[in-house]
Amino acid sequence: MEIAIIAHDGKKAEMVQFLNEHSEILHQKNVTLISTGTTGSKAEKAGFKVTKFLSGPYGGDAQIATRVAEGFCKMVFFFRDPLAKHPHEPDIFMLMRLCDVHDVPLATNPATAELLIKAL
């Protein structure tokens, strides 16, 4: 199962912590992680194997949206920072819209991601 991990700058540490806390489930369920560039680099430093795309502002969110639209990505963990401005907001909304269009589960915070990962 392919799962996308994305985190805004203020949430990257939370994403790595989440992955560490659930690494056993990820390995047991044979999850393949894909990610935007910087989030993926942080996850790799924590020992996770990740296929990295571009950084979000450079098109990484759009690349992951393509994976969703093509039916490859089956779940998205996108830890958003609602208190910061993001120049690539249209790409973020496109990814979220495509998750809705293609009925792909989307968690925008650790609490929701916790529920989704337990459902695996």
pLDDT at position 89, please? 81
C-alpha separations of 87 from 4, 6, 14, 62, 81 in Å: 21, 15, 21, 13, 13
Q: Give the tens place of pLDDT for each residue, 68-109.
A: 999 999 999 999 988 877 777 888 899 999 999 999 999 999
The Cα 112–Cα 120 span in angstroms is: 13
61 labelled catalytic:
yes
pLDDT at position 104, please? 98
Exactly one of 61, 81, 100, 103 is catalytic; which is it? 61
The Cα 70–Cα 14 span in angstroms is: 28
Domains in the chain: ranges and CATH: 2-118 (3.40.50.1380)
- Listed residue (8, 65, 81, 66) closest to 39, CA to CA: 8
* pTM for the model: 0.94
DSSP state for residue 55 in the 8-state scheme: -
**Do the beta carbons of residue 15 and residue 42 sit within 8 Å?**
yes
Q: Look over the chain and give the mean of its residue pLDDT values, rounded to a whole number.
A: 95
Supply 27's token pair: 């390995």
